[in-house]
Amino acid sequence: MAQTGLDTDVVIAGAGPTGLMLACELRLAGAGVAVVDRLPGRTGESRAGGIHSRTLEVLDQRGILDRFLAVGELTPVGHFSGLWLDFDGVESRHPLPLMILQSAIERLLEEWAAELGVRVGWSSEVTGIRQDDDGVTVELGAAEATLRARYLVGCDGGRSAVRKLAGIGFPGTPATMTALLGDVELPGLPEDFIFMRRCEGGHFSALALEPGWHRVITSEYGQVADRDDAPTFEQLRAALIRLAGTDYGMHGPRWISRFGDAARQADRYRAGRVLLAGDAAHIHYPAGGQGLNTGVQDAVNLGWKLGAVVRGQAPESLLDTYHTERHPVGERVLHNTRAQSALARPGAETEALREVFGSLIVIDDVNAHLRGMITALDIRYPADSDHPLAGRRVPDADLKTPDGATRVYELLHAARPVLLDLRGTGAPAAVAAGWADRVDLVEARSDTDSWSVPAIGGIQAPAALLIRPDGHVAWAAAPTGRLGTSALRAALTTWFGPPRRG
């Protein structure tokens, strides 16, 4: 018989960047959350070393970006398979990538989660799940403890137990290379920074992490290590000697790890009451630094939807839009990282291909296209409307309200939908009166008539906008002409449920 007593609304498996961001988004949406992780606590290890514009914007939308800017360093360094991208002219208030270690990102997200009332349950490995009509029972450890919730989200990384337990397929392509990573002392390195230096068997990098410490990455093609064998310092040293002809006096390893270019994606992001986000839903070659960014953005897409469903404000079908919107985004990341892996192979043919590609990447439109993809600023979710903003992330325009100056992203701090009336007619608010309990109605004027949109360029500021909590545009009215009342009503109903009666 179904066990119906709930411990919380949502259990999140995994306290990595994706799980933590999702926990915060759910709390902002008013949902109860329990986060569990199989580790005994934070390891302090860092795979990722940077975040891109769209993730910076997302953090800005929640009013927590300054915490990250205080720790990391903005640098104009971004690449496509080691070929440099130019960040001049990025259509964002935060055009440059922020160099910040994953351990710091996790610490800052965990601090924010704690402020919102979320504590991580460490040493709690998800080992079993049982779904029924009313909820999902999550077994922890050797089923000695269970948690019961309405939904479970697997944010438990590339080898996700939740994905396997839910029977979700993970098709894709296997690894064709092996990369070893070590945080080490490297006293014999003649320069601070070697990035993707190409050699006969692959390429290597040696990047200064902090005074006295370097991150060494060796990438060798044509050989694939067994995923279950723990990588060793000696393997890293041998690989560096094979590629660079020296180990640069490498010693004192802090952390040794391994990765490859396998590219796989969950065939569905939802199976009943179980959903997947982050690496649990997609793995790929880490070129261009997109995995953590994609996971955080998955979380921001899912959080408000799942929050609305558990609070009874939206139908369950809203959850299916999570797959519809985010699966193609993950697919595109897999696609571009496969291309980057192919471009990184050793050999004369690849050398020629890189030269051709290198001469193309300096063309403004090519650079802007690749940059839009890597920064995720050009994402457009499926939209019914042909307005250029529909489905895209809203630009962070400067605004004037009766209360003073503000900007669009400041209006999104509470993670609530915003209906922005930029002509002050009051007409949008009249249409949305039945949603006033869920949607913030804001009258403002745009400081500028032209808004800059990635992949499009300048467009005329709209007359009104309906912005989802994740910062994507659900509906926009043309600068002049009719408001489009029925389209606005349809968008409000689709995304935020039916109007309140009376």
Ligand X SMILES: Cc1cc2nc3c(=O)[nH]c(=O)nc-3n(C[C@H](O)[C@H](O)[C@H](O)COP(=O)(O)OP(=O)(O)OC[C@H]3O[C@@H](n4cnc5c(N)ncnc54)[C@H](O)[C@@H]3O)c2cc1C
Interface size with ligand X, residues (CB under 6 A): 33
Judged by CB under 6 A, which stretch of 42-50, 228-236, 302-310, 340-348 contacts ligand X?
Answer: 42-50
Binding to ligand X by CB under 6 A, coded x per residue (else -) over 295-334, reads x---------------------------------------
Between residue 81 and residue 110, which ones bind ligand X under the rule CB under 6 A? 102
We find the least distance from the C-beta atom of residue 17 to ligand X, in angstroms, to be 4
Of residues 268, 291, 299, 230, the one with CA closest to residue 33: 299
Q: What are the backbone dihedrals phi and psi of residue 207, each rounded to the nearest 5 degrees, phi first?
A: -120, 130
Residues near 53 by beta carbon (within 8 Å), at least 6 away in sequence: 90, 92, 94, 95, 96, 97, 375, 376, 377
Nearer to ligand X, 72 or 484 (CB): 72
Nearer to ligand X, 60 or 279 (CB): 279
Judged by CB under 6 A, which stretch of 37-45, 411-419, 421-429, 472-480 contacts ligand X?
Answer: 37-45
Asked if residues 381 and 472 have their Cβ atoms less than 8 Å apart, the reply is yes
| 112 contributes a contact to ligand X by CB under 6 A | no
We find the least distance from the C-beta atom of residue 156 to ligand X, in angstroms, to be 4
How is 154-221 classified by DSSP, letter by letter? Answer: E---TT-HHHHHTT----EE---EEEEEEEEE-TT-SSSEEEEEE-SSEEEEEEEEETTEEEEEEEEE
We find the least distance from the C-beta atom of residue 207 to ligand X, in angstroms, to be 11
Nearer to ligand X, 294 or 385 (CB): 294
Q: Which amino acid is at 267?
A: D
Asked if residues 402 and 426 have their Cβ atoms less than 8 Å apart, the reply is no
How is 330-396 classified by DSSP, letter by letter? Answer: HHHHHHHHHHHHHHH--SHHHHHHHHHHHHHHTSHHHHHHHHHHHHTTT-B---S--STTTTBBPP-
| 377 contributes a contact to ligand X by CB under 6 A | no
Nearer to ligand X, 52 or 423 (CB): 52
Using CA atoms, how far apart are residues 270 and 364, in angstroms rounded to an integer? 39
Half-sphere exposure of 237 (CA within 13 A, CB side): 13
Between residue 131 and residue 190, which ones bind ligand X under the rule CB under 6 A? 155-157, 161, 181
Figure out which of the listed residues 28, 48, 276, 483 binds ligand X, where binding follows CB under 6 A: 48
Nearer to ligand X, 162 or 439 (CB): 162
Binding to ligand X by CB under 6 A, coded x per residue (else -) over 3-22, reads ----------xxxxxxx---
Between residue 184 and residue 243, which ones bind ligand X under the rule CB under 6 A? none
User: Rounded to 10 degrees, what is the CA torsion of 229, 231, 235, 236?
Assistant: 150
We find the least distance from the C-beta atom of residue 355 to ligand X, in angstroms, to be 26
Nearer to ligand X, 155 or 256 (CB): 155
Per the document, the length of the chain is: 502
| 125 contributes a contact to ligand X by CB under 6 A | yes
CB atoms < 10 A from the CB of 450, how many? Answer: 12
Contact residues for ligand X, defined by CB under 6 A: 13-19, 36-39, 47-50, 102, 125-126, 155-157, 161, 181, 259, 278-279, 286, 289-293, 295
